[in-house]
Amino acid sequence: MPSPFPGVDPYLESPEFFPELHHRLITAIADAIAPAIRPKYRVAIEKRTYFSKPEESLTVAIPDVAVYSKTSVANPASSTATLLKSIQPLTVILPMEEETREGYLEIREVETGDVITAIEILSPKNKRTGKGREAYERKRNKVLLSATHLIEIDLLRRGKPMPIGGTIRGDYRILVSREERRPRADLYPFTLREEIPSFPLPLKSGDPPIQVELQKLFSEVYDRAGFDLSIDYTKSPVPLLNQEDLSWADILLREKGVR
* Nearest CA among 47, 27, 8 for reference residue 227: 8
pLDDT band at 1 (very low <50, low <70, confident <90, very high): confident
Residue 82 lies in a domain: no
Q: Using the predicted structure, report yes or no on whether residue 62 has a pLDDT greater than 50.
A: no
* Nearest CA among 126, 7, 101 for reference residue 48: 101
Looking at residue 49, what is its pLDDT? 79
Residue 222 lies in a domain: yes
Residue 133 lies in a domain: yes
Residue 218 lies in a domain: yes
Residue 89 lies in a domain: no
Residue 259 lies in a domain: no
* Nearest CA among 9, 29, 52, 18 for reference residue 217: 29
Parent domain of 139: 10-55+96-231
- What percent of the chain has pLDDT above 70? 87
Domain count, the chain: 1
Q: Using the predicted structure, report yes or no on whether residue 132 has a pLDDT greater than 80.
A: yes
pTM above the 0.85 mark?
A: no
Residue 132 lies in a domain: yes
8 A C-beta contact, residue 80 and residue 175: no
Higher per-residue confidence, 72 vs 173 = 173
Q: Using the predicted structure, report yes or no on whether residue 79 has a pLDDT greater than 60.
A: no
Average pLDDT value over all residues in the chain = 88
* CATH number of the CATH domain containing 217: 3.90.1570
Residue 112 lies in a domain: yes
